[in-house]
Structure 1
Amino acid sequence: MSSVEATEPRPRVRMYPHHVDYSAMSMEFRPFAMFMHPPNYKSTAVNTDDLGLRVQYASGDKRLDWRTLKSDIDSCDVLVGNSSLFGVDCSSDKTTITHYLNENTAARDLPTVLNVGIRGATSQQELVIFQSLRRFMPKIRKIVIFSGVLGATSIALPNTYIHPDFGIMSEEAYNLDLLSKQYKAERFDRLDRALHKFHTWIDAKLRAHRRLERMVEFYFGEPVSEVARPEPDIETKFDTVMDLFTGDVGNWMALGRGLDADVHFVLQPVINWTTKPLTPAERTLFDLDLKAGYYLDRYATSEFHQKYRDRVKAICGDAGMPFHDANEWLNDSAVANQTVFVDVCHLTDFGNKFLADKLRTSILGA
């Protein structure tokens, strides 16, 4: 058993052995986009290209090269989103939503679909990353934003970094530490590296002796109360996230007009946001995550879904952006007894295939 697998919940790894390939993939800092998958990551289930995007294939099983897209294809549709669109925990690069969408597109005379799914991306990051990558894209016909769960979790989780004017940062402690380590690794000279290792050693020694650590904090530490921000209540966070989302929707619509492309929003599926009964596998893993303390009981509920969906739908409607709720698609009797979720929002291969079919018939063309 690998060290990664040893830290993962055993039932999840038993059901989905490829889960460890995703757990082993870290992230890397990127200017303005905050973070991106590492380039040229290789594993059985998930692989990335030199940009850090998931490896993709066009109709006819030809691997896509983002740097030659404009000469390789005439037009495209673009799916933008977070880890669910990226395809976390699906079994291979050929079982993502976009891969299923690209099957036989040539025979159907439909554009190639590009996957701009980034793990952990917030609404603002989705927009910035799309703008960063747009220079590689040929003529864009439609943009589909397959998203929503990061806004919900930022409302539900305590101490989320939400700047009311500029946006949200998910997993800020992890990602800021990521930036710090990457900067030190890439920019520090030999003396800087030596000093950093020395400071790290001192820190470890102090933390091993709590009384000494407290003494150093007392004499040399700055009062935290001078800079600490009070945690806003959940209603205030909800309104702030929706206000930020309103700005993002307006920017997407302006981009769509400039590109002469239709823009749609699809609220991604979340456990308990659909009336589909949970299968034994879904129930086992959801209960496991509930016990882990991920605050799922704050947002993975039908009550939160209704409130969140109604506000998102209204914001999209006011901007003229077509809104779709993928959770309603999963109310279909055809999936009642099928395992769709591997956790609160990531999907099985079957779930990806089913949603690809719905996206095709509802938005992209059959």
Structure 2
Amino acid sequence: MTARMTLTPQMAEYEQKFTDGGEVRWLPYLMYFHPTDYRSFVVNTDSAGFRYSESLTTRYSVADGGQSSGPVRLLAGSSTVFGIGASADSQTLASRLTQNDPRGQHWLNFGGRSFNSTQELTLFTLNKHRLPKVDEIVLFSGFNNLGLARQPENYRGEYGAFFNCHQFFDALAPAEPASTSWSLSNLFGKAQEPERPAPQSMQEQIDYAANLTLQHLDIWRALAADMGAKLTFILQPLAGWVRETGSPEEQQLFAELDQAGNFTDVYGDILQTSVREAYAHRLRAGAQGMGVGFVDITPLLAEALGPDDWQFVDRIHFTDFGNDLVSKLILDVTR
């Protein structure tokens, strides 16, 4: 049995429905979102596809109520916020924030798997009408924009590349001549992809990702101000940013994932501490310039972790212990 099956059996549930190889529900404007009304012991979604949170046996979500009559707090972002890696709905960041927050308000899970900042903002604007009064918004985000910044310019466009964007652009491309589209290589799915331009320098990628993130953060700022909600942007951590050597479980999982995939080949340069520092510097300056709180949570997490503390199920998503620890750090820096 593999280390992943042994250490993180819940990941099989996510891979069945909540990864690129699972069930992708294509939607207007958002591109894609989670399946609706999904039920399992690990992850459950409401009638709009938002993940349920759970605290003290109370279950609540964006679309299906269960909320308190008073104001709520909102945690927005991508798959880490959605809770990939958590063993149950009660173990996601939003659930742990509710459990650990002495103010007694519910934190809603506004995470979208594989979302960039454009999709995070669009998800909010399309569903703002579902919300009661919101006292606070925390954006826990940042990696996907940086990881996607190396996509070709024709994929990035004005609003940023998104995951699986090649499928979108391929579907819109003019049909190839019959002699080409019916070649054996295409028939068996082995057609050679056209050459793509070399990626930009790392500094150019950092600048692009930071500019796009700040452009959307300014819109979040305006919306939060209109709602009377406090807004904080938290740059999410990566395992390689937090520490060079992980816990024994992390080392096993990362080695196995490197054999199965190509995360290190594609994003290995992003894992450098100097990249995080440069990216955080740009984001902090921009956020402070518009009056939005900014937190680079990586140093705080590195300080809080013991050498054997198991934080990550992969290089970006948390264990149950990790979600609980990060929820406490979020509360410490935002209250």
Q: Same fold (TM over 0.5)?
A: yes
Residue 5 of structure 1 aligns with which residue? none
Residue 334 (structure 1) shift: 4.5
Residue 36 (structure 1) shift: 0.4
Matches within 5 A, 1:1-366: 10-25=2-17, 26-57=23-54, 59-67=55-63, 69=65, 72-103=68-99, 108-156=102-150, 161-163=155-157, 165-174=158-167, 203=182, 207=186, 230-234=197-201, 235-275=203-243, 277-291=245-259, 292-294=261-263, 295-363=266-334, 365=335
Taking the aligned partners of 2:53 and 2:67, their CA distance within structure 1 comes to: 17
Residue 100 (structure 1) shift: 1.2
Stretches of structure 2 lacking an aligned partner (at least 5 in a row): 18-22, 173-177
Q: Indicate conservation of the 8 Å contact 1:300/1:344, yes or no.
A: no
Q: Indicate conservation of the 8 Å contact 1:279/1:337, yes or no.
A: yes
**What value does the CA root-mean-square deviation take over the aligned residues?**
3.1
Seen in structure 2, the aligned counterparts of structure 1 residues 176 and 133 have a Cα distance that, compared at 3 Å, is: farther
User: Quick check: 348-357 or 300-309, which moved more?
Assistant: 300-309
For residue 146 of structure 1, give the secondary structure of its aligned residue in structure 2: strand
Taking the aligned partners of 1:71 and 1:304, their CA distance within structure 2 comes to: 40
Once the two structures are superposed, residues 299-333 of structure 1 have per-residue CA deviations (whole angstroms, 9 ceiling, x without a partner) of 11212111111111122121111111121221224
Q: Indicate conservation of the 8 Å contact 1:124/1:168, yes or no.
A: no
Give 1 or 2 for the bigger CA radius of gyration: 1
Q: Indicate conservation of the 8 Å contact 2:74/2:108, yes or no.
A: yes
Taking the aligned partners of 2:320 and 2:119, their CA distance within structure 1 comes to: 26
Amino acid at match of 2:159: F
Residue 72 (structure 1) shift: 4.3
Residue 221 of structure 1 aligns with which residue? none
Taking the aligned partners of 2:205 and 2:323, their CA distance within structure 1 comes to: 31
Amino acid at match of 1:133: N
For residue 278 of structure 2, give the secondary structure of its aligned residue in structure 1: helix
Seen in structure 2, the aligned counterparts of structure 1 residues 316 and 92 have a Cα distance that, compared at 3 Å, is: same
Taking the aligned partners of 1:233 and 1:264, their CA distance within structure 2 comes to: 30
Q: Indicate conservation of the 8 Å contact 1:69/1:137, yes or no.
A: no
For residue 51 of structure 1, give the secondary structure of its aligned residue in structure 2: coil
Taking the aligned partners of 1:44 and 1:359, their CA distance within structure 2 comes to: 27
Taking the aligned partners of 1:237 and 1:342, their CA distance within structure 2 comes to: 26
Residue 4 of structure 1 aligns with which residue? none
TM-score (norm 2): 0.85
Stretches of structure 1 lacking an aligned partner (at least 5 in a row): 1-8, 181-198, 218-223
Amino acid at match of 2:57: D
For residue 320 of structure 1, give the secondary structure of its aligned residue in structure 2: coil
Taking the aligned partners of 1:209 and 1:53, their CA distance within structure 2 comes to: 36
Taking the aligned partners of 1:116 and 1:109, their CA distance within structure 2 comes to: 20
Residue 174 (structure 1) shift: 4.9
| Identical residues among aligned pairs (%) | 25
Seen in structure 2, the aligned counterparts of structure 1 residues 70 and 280 have a Cα distance that, compared at 3 Å, is: closer
Once the two structures are superposed, residues 32-91 of structure 1 have per-residue CA deviations (whole angstroms, 9 ceiling, x without a partner) of 11110010122221121111111222x542222534649842101100001011110211
Seen in structure 2, the aligned counterparts of structure 1 residues 247 and 335 have a Cα distance that, compared at 3 Å, is: same
Amino acid at match of 1:113: W
Amino acid at match of 1:286: F
Amino acid at match of 1:89: G
Amino acid at match of 2:160: G
Q: Indicate conservation of the 8 Å contact 1:290/1:296, yes or no.
A: no
Residue 104 (structure 1) shift: 6.8
Q: Indicate conservation of the 8 Å contact 2:80/2:316, yes or no.
A: yes
Taking the aligned partners of 1:158 and 1:342, their CA distance within structure 2 comes to: 30
Taking the aligned partners of 1:175 and 1:352, their CA distance within structure 2 comes to: 33
Taking the aligned partners of 2:150 and 2:252, their CA distance within structure 1 comes to: 22
Residue 175 of structure 2 aligns with which residue? none
Amino acid at match of 1:11: A
Q: Which has the higher helix share?
A: 1
Q: Indicate conservation of the 8 Å contact 2:50/2:61, yes or no.
A: no
For residue 331 of structure 1, give the secondary structure of its aligned residue in structure 2: helix
Q: Indicate conservation of the 8 Å contact 2:47/2:64, yes or no.
A: no
Seen in structure 2, the aligned counterparts of structure 1 residues 249 and 297 have a Cα distance that, compared at 3 Å, is: same
Q: Indicate conservation of the 8 Å contact 1:340/1:347, yes or no.
A: yes
Taking the aligned partners of 1:71 and 1:348, their CA distance within structure 2 comes to: 26
